[in-house]
Every structure is written in structure tokens, then in C-alpha cells.
Amino acid sequence: MVSVIRLYAESDDQQKAQHFGAVLSSRGVQVEIETVEKLNARFFRLNPELALCVDENGLWLCAHGMKMQPDWQAETGRLKRASLKSEMIARACHLAEKPSLIDATAGLGHDSLLMAHLGAQVTLVERHPILFTLLEDTHTRAQSDVFLSQVVSRIQLVFSDSADYLKQQAEQHRTVDVVYLDPMFPQRDQNQQAVKKQAQVKKQMQLLHMLLPEDGEMDLGDNLLELAQKIAKRVVVKRPRLAVFLAEKEPHHQWQGDACRFDAYFQHELVAE
């Protein structure tokens, strides 16, 4: 995991840079702030190493001439088009019932944003301090957006290892309606070459893969399924369409799409405390 990272900012944004530096330091990441004359395309081409930058639009991850952040504003169009009938994830997670839901594999938070828009009360769990800080900044900025403010009011961010968080919920006898899992690196456990060929990594994901190296079974999510089943009435796992089952465990039901599917595991005997 990244323990030291450079943070670029223009002189006008030094206060924001200092703020993010302090936040990341409190989460175990040493930040080296560097003032630059201009954060532009040429600068990013000349400074290709993995770093952070801050500007009037918030905190960004940057590398190899690219920069990215969890851009929830860009999801507004999709949210406005979405409905309980049109979204497969809504049927899989039973969003019509406005469930309490833990998203234990946060990523960029786009699925959580959609599920919150469709009525879920979402707890978004992320263990990586830099990705969590990016999500936190995006969540804060979305609160001032007229459309998104109501949506993000239904999203709570938790800085924690998902396995630890799920264990804690079980120890405290807490239950939720749904735990949602979308492992970051599903392609590593494919048993069919065709699946690897269909996964075209976008620029955003390229940077995420640089930040989050494949460093263990946590990223596959296998260990999360059993933990999730202890506290959730329904566990929903998003998978590439041809992927093997998570933890090699056959689901009770599936919803199939062209590129992905949702595997569901039901716990009919589990009731809220």
C-alpha cells in the first residue's frame, strides 16, 4: 500500500493542499506537498509518476498524463435515467424495499450512488486511505449539488477494512438487508480466457490499478462472502458474465446481463435483532 505520495498544487490552492495533507497523514500516508506553476496537460506528461493533485475541483489521483477522481457529478445523467425496473442491480438488491445496504467493495462509489438514488440507505466501506479520501472529498462536494445532495444524504462513508467491519457488525449482532460485493480484481480468478479479453480497462481503472496492486485474497473478495452472509438477509455479488462463482459457491439466484451478472445468496432465516 502507498505510504508516501506527492501532492501537487498551484499557489492559490495551498490551503486545500495542506488540508488534504493533514487528513492523509492522520490515515497513515506521508504527503510531500509541491507547489507548481501550472497544473496542465504538459505538467502531467512531464511528471508521470503516481501522485495526487488538488485544484478548484477537488482532489485527484494522477499518473502517466491522466488524472481521475470519483466523479459523481458525471453520473447525474445516468441517475436521472435510472428506475427500479430498468436497472438489473435494483432487482438483485431489492431496492424497491429501500433496504439498509453495505457496499463492502467501494471502488469509485458509482454503484453505491445509483443504489442510494433508487432508495437504499448505503454504508460505503473502503480501507485504502487515499481512495477513501478521494471518495470523502467527492461526497462532500456532492452535498452542495442541488440534485445529488438528496442522494448522498443516504450514503455514509466508513474508513475500514471490509472484513474487519463485517466481523464487527456480526460481533455486535447487527444485521442489514443487503451486503453488496463487487471485487476490484475479478479477472484474476477467471477460468475462461474469453472473460479476460472482454475486460477493457478504462483510464479511471488504470489509475486505480496502480494505486491498488493485487496484493492478496482481499481483492478477490472470496473471504468477504462468508462474512457478509452472517449479517445480511441477501448478499449480492457483481461478476463478469463468464466469471467463476465467488469463493466457488453457487448462488441461489442470478440476474444475467450482456457483460456482467449479479449472483444472489439469500439468508431467509436471518432476522434483524
Which of 234, 226, 223, 224 lies closest to 272 in space, CA to CA? 234
DSSP 175: -
Residue 55 shares a structural domain with residue 106: no
Q: Provide the grid cell at 95.
A: 431496492
Same domain for 195 and 219, yes or no, is yes
Environment class of 28 (CB within 10 Å of its CB; exposed 0-12, middle 13-18, buried 19+): exposed
Supply 142's cell numbers.
456532492
Q: Quote the pTM value.
A: 0.91
- Shared domain check, 101 and 24: no
Same domain (yes/no): 216, 196: yes
Question: Are residues 69 and 60 in contact, defined by beta-carbon separation less than 8 angstroms?
Answer: yes
Which alpha helices (H) appear in the chain, and where do they start and end? 14-26, 41-46, 76-81, 88-92, 110-117, 129-142, 148-152, 162-171, 193-198, 203-211, 217-220, 222-229
For residues 63 and 197, membership in a common domain is answered with: no
Is 126 marked within a binding site?
yes
Number of domains in the chain: 2
Structural domain boundaries, residue 144? 73-270
Query: What is the spatial distance between Cα 140 and Cα 23, in angstroms, rounded to a whole number?
Result: 14
Question: Does residue 100 sit in the same domain as residue 184?
Answer: yes
What averages of pLDDT result for each successive group of 10 residues across the chain (273 residues)?
91 98 97 97 96 97 94 96 97 98 95 98 97 98 97 98 97 98 65 42 77 58 93 97 93 95 84 39
Asked whether residue 201 falls in the same domain as residue 222, the answer is yes
